[in-house]
A and B are shown apart, each in its own frame.
Chain A
Amino acid sequence: MIHVVESLDPAVVKMDIRDLNVYYGSFHAIKNASLEVADRKVTALIGPSGCGKSTFIRALNRMHDLTPEARVTGTVSLDGTNIYDQSVDPVVVRHRVGMVFQRPNPFPKSIFENVVYGPKTHGERNRNELMACAERSLRRAALWDEVKDRLFKSALDLSGGQQQRLCIARVLAVEPEVILMDEPASALDPIATSKIEDLIGELKKDYTVVIVTHSMQQAARISDLTAFFLLGELIEVGTTSDIFTRPKDRRTEDYITGRYG
C-alpha cells in the first residue's frame, strides 16, 4: 500500500509508473511500485541500502534490457507512451531519458570526445555543430570554465567531481527530457557534492530529475518530491516537506528518525 499525498495534475506528470515489478531470476526485487514523476521537478528516491531504489530507477530507461536474468512487468509511461511497448525503440528511450551513474565513468577519451559521444552515435557529423553542442552542454553542467582550455586532453585527468560533472554534460549533450541520477555524489567529497547539488537545482528548470540518494539530508536539500522505498516496495511518496515533517506511514517515520538505515 502506498500513501500518495495527492495525485498530481496530469498536465505535470512526465513519467507515470504503474504496477512495476522487477525480477532478477526468482528474486522479486521491485514489488508493484506505482509512482508519478512530476515534470521539471526533482523527485528523490530514499530508503535503506538494498531496498531497490537503484533497481527501480534502472527500469525507467530500460537498462534492465542489458541484464539477461532481469524481467520487468508493468508500465512505465513517458508522456503517455509506455516505454516497454513492443513498438518502442530502447535506443530512443535512452536518448530521452538519460542516466548518471554512482561512480563517474568517463570514457578513456578526451573531454570533447566524451561530451559529443551521444550526438555522434546519433548521427551528428558536423564539426561546428559538435563544438557548439559541447560548449553548451559543458556550460550547463557548470564545467566549461574549468575545461575550456583542455578540451582535447584525457577526461581521466579530471578530479572525481569534475568527471561526474563531465558525465552530466555527456548526458545533457543528447538533449534528454528526464535525467536519472543513481547516487551521483556518493563517491565525491563534500565540496564536489555541493557543486553537484547546486547544479541539480539549476537543471530542474529545464529537465525532470529523478535522483536516488542514500542521504536524507541531500533529499531534503534538493528535492521537491520524495518517495520512500523499503525491501522492494514503494511505501510512501509526497512533497519533500510533508515526507520529512508529517510522514503518513510508520515505517517512513522510523526511517526518517533514524531507527534503521
Chain B
Amino acid sequence: MSEATLSLEAVRARSARGVRARRAADRLATGLLWTAAISVVLLLAFFVGYIFYLGVGAISWQFLTAPPSEVSAGGGIGPEIYNSFYILILTLIFTAPIAISAGIYLQEYAKPGAFRSLVQFSAESLATVPSIVMGLFGLLVFVYYFGWHFSALGGALTLTILNLPALMRVSQEALASVPSTLREASMALGATKWTTITRAVLPSAVGPLTTGIVLIAGRIFGETAALIYTAGVSVAAGKGAYDLSPFRPAETLAVHVWYTHAESVVPDVARIGNGSALVLLAMVLLFNVGARIVGRFLTIRFTGKA
C-alpha cells in the first residue's frame, strides 16, 4: 500500500533534505548580508580615497588663501573657507540657544498635551523640508522682504531654521541619557527643577550634547542648497572678502564647488572643483572625528567618569 511506502526513513530523508535546503538558504543569506555591509564600508573608503586622490594635486598654500578668480585660471578658495566658518559660527550662535531651550522644555518640562504635540509636529515638519525649499524661504524673507540682498546673516538665519530640529533631537537625547535618579536626588535636597537641570542634569549631558553639536556643525559646513540664494555665490574683492560684517554676500566653500561647475567660466574648473571638494571633505571628516573626541573629553571632565 502507498501509505506503507511512506516509511519513517523516507519521512526523515525528506525532512533532512528540507533542513539542508534551509541551512543552505541561511548560509546564502548570511553571505549576502555580510557582503552588503562590507560594500558600504568599502564604498565609503573608496569615496574618501577618490576625492583625496582627485584633489590633492590642487592643494597649495596659494590655493587655500588666494581669492577666487572670475575669468582666469589660478583662483583660490581663501575667502570661501573664511565664509564657511563665519556662517557656521553665526548659525550656531542662533541655533544653539533656541534649539537647546526647546529641547530642554520638551524633555524636562512639557506635559503631554496640545502645545507639546504642536511643537513636536513642527519640529518634525521642519526636519522634512528640503533644503532648497528652505533656501527659497530665506530668499523671500531675508533677501526680498527684509531687503538685505545676499548676506551672510540671511544665510545663517536660514540655516538656523534648517537645523533647529536636529539640534533639538540631540538635546533631548542627551538629556534622556541622564538617569532619573540624579534628578530625584537633586529635588530631594530642595532644589528647584531649573536648578536641578543646570547643576545636575546638564553637566552630565554635556558630552553627548557636544558630540551632537559638532556633528551638526559638520552638516552646516557642507550645506549648499539653502545658501545659494541667501548668502549668494560671490565674495567681495580684495580685503573686503574677509569682512566681519554679516551684511554682505558670502559664498561658502560648499557653494563654490557647485558654482565652479555650474556657472563659472574659468578654464581650470576641474582643478578648483577637485581641490574645493577635497578641502570640504577633509573639514567634514575632521568635524566627525573631533565630535567624538571632544564629547568624550567633556564627559570625563564634567562627570569624572565614563
Chain A nearest Cβ from B96, distance in angstroms: 23
Q: Interface 1/0s, chain A 144-172, versus B by CB < 8 A?
A: 00000000011111000000000100110
Q: A105-B181, A117-B199, A121-B199 are in contact. Are A61 and B188 (CB under 8 A)?
A: yes
> Is the CB–CB distance between A103 and B181 below 8 Å?
yes
Cβ B189 vs Cβ A171 within 8 A: yes
The segment out of A24-32, A40-48, A93-101, A127-135 that lies at the interface is A93-101
B3-28 with Cβ < 8 A to chain A: none
User: When the two chains form their complex, are residues B187 and A107 in contact, meaning their CB atoms are under 8 A apart?
Assistant: no
Q: Please give me the residue from chain A that is nearest to B112 by CB atom.
A: A68
Give chain B nearest CB distance to A91 CB in angstroms.
5
Q: With A117-B199, A121-B199, A156-B305 known to touch, is A107 a contact of B185 (CB < 8 Å)?
A: yes
Determine which of B111, B190, B199, B200 lies in contact with A122 in the assembled complex, contact meaning CB atoms within 8 Å: B190
Query: How long is the Cα–Cα vector from A168 to B240 in the complex, in angstroms?
Result: 63
B198 (CB) vs chain A CBs: closest residue:
A121
Q: In chain A between 46 and 71, which residues have their CB closer than 8 angstroms to a CB of chain B?
A: 61, 63, 66, 68
Pick the residue among B188, B189, B304 that contacts A156 (CB under 8 A). Answer: B304
Can you give 25 A-B contacts (C-beta < 8 A)? A63-B184, A66-B184, A91-B192, A94-B187, A94-B189, A95-B189, A99-B188, A105-B185, A107-B182, A108-B203, A108-B304, A108-B305, A109-B203, A117-B199, A118-B191, A120-B199, A121-B191, A122-B190, A153-B304, A154-B303, A155-B304, A156-B304, A157-B305, A170-B185, A170-B189
Does B195 have its Cβ within 8 Å of any Cβ on chain A? Answer: yes
B189 and A63 contact, CB distance less than 8 A: no
- Residues on B with C-beta less than 8 A from A122 are 190
In this assembly, does A174 line the interface, its C-beta being within 8 Å of a C-beta of chain B? yes
Given contacts A109-B303, A171-B189, 6 further A-B contacts (CB under 8 A): A63-B187, A66-B184, A105-B185, A107-B185, A117-B186, A170-B185
Contact of B189 among A98, A103, A154, A155 (CB under 8 A): A98
Which of A103, A105, A108, A120 contacts B303 (CB under 8 A)?
A108
Using a CB–CB cutoff of 8 Å, the interface residues on chain B facing chain A are 111, 181-192, 195, 199-200, 203-204, 302-306
A92 is an interface residue with CB less than 8 A from chain B: yes
Say yes or no: A107 contacts B200, CB within 8 Å.
yes
A227-243 contacts to B, CB under 8 A, are none
Q: Contacts of A118 on B, CB cut-off 8 Å?
A: 189-191
Residue A110 lies at the interface, judged by CB distance under 8 Å to chain B: yes
Can you name the residue of chain A whose Cβ is closest to the Cβ of B111? A68
Q: How long is the Cα–Cα vector from A93 to B200 in the complex, in angstroms? A: 20
CA distance A103 to B195 in the complex (A): 22
Please report the C-alpha to C-alpha distance between residue A110 and residue B302 in the assembled complex, in whole angstroms. 10
Interface string of A208-231 (1 = CB under 8 A from B): 000000000000000000000000
Given A154-B305, A156-B305: A101 in contact with B185 (beta carbons within 8 A): yes
A68, A101, A121, A153: the one contacting B184 at CB < 8 Å is A101
Q: Specify the chain A residue showing the minimal Cβ separation from B181.
A: A105
In whole Å, how far is B256's beta carbon from the nearest beta carbon of chain A? 44
Residue from B183, B185, B191, B200 with most neighbouring chain A CB atoms (10 Å):
B185
Residues from chain A with a CB closer than 8 A to the CB of B111 are 68
- Chain A residues whose C-beta falls within 8 Å of the C-beta of B189 in the assembled complex: 94-95, 98, 117-118, 121, 170-171, 174
Q: How far is the CA of A105 from the CA of B201 in the complex (A)?
A: 13
Contact A110 B304, CB 8 Å, known A63-B187, A66-B187, A118-B190:
yes
A120's closest neighbor in chain B, by CB? B199
Chain A residues with CB below 8 A from B192, complex form: 91, 121
User: In the complex, A95→B203 CA distance in Å?
Assistant: 23
Q: Across the interface, which residues of A come within 8 angstroms of B200, CB to CB?
A: 107, 117
Complex interface: chain A residues within 8 A of B191 (CB): 91, 117-118, 121
Tell me the bound Cα distance from A118 to B199 in angstroms: 11
Specify which of B111, B184, B189, B200 lies most central, judged by the most chain A CB atoms within 10 Å of its CB.
B189
A170 CA / B306 CA spacing, docked (Å): 23
From B182, B195, B199, B302, A105 is in contact (CB under 8 Å) with B182
B residues less than 8 Å from A63 (CB atoms) = 184, 187-188
Q: Which of B181, B190, B304 contacts A121 (CB 8 A)?
A: B190
Of chain B, the residue at the smallest CB distance from A100 is B188
Docked complex Cα distance between A109 and B202 (Å): 12
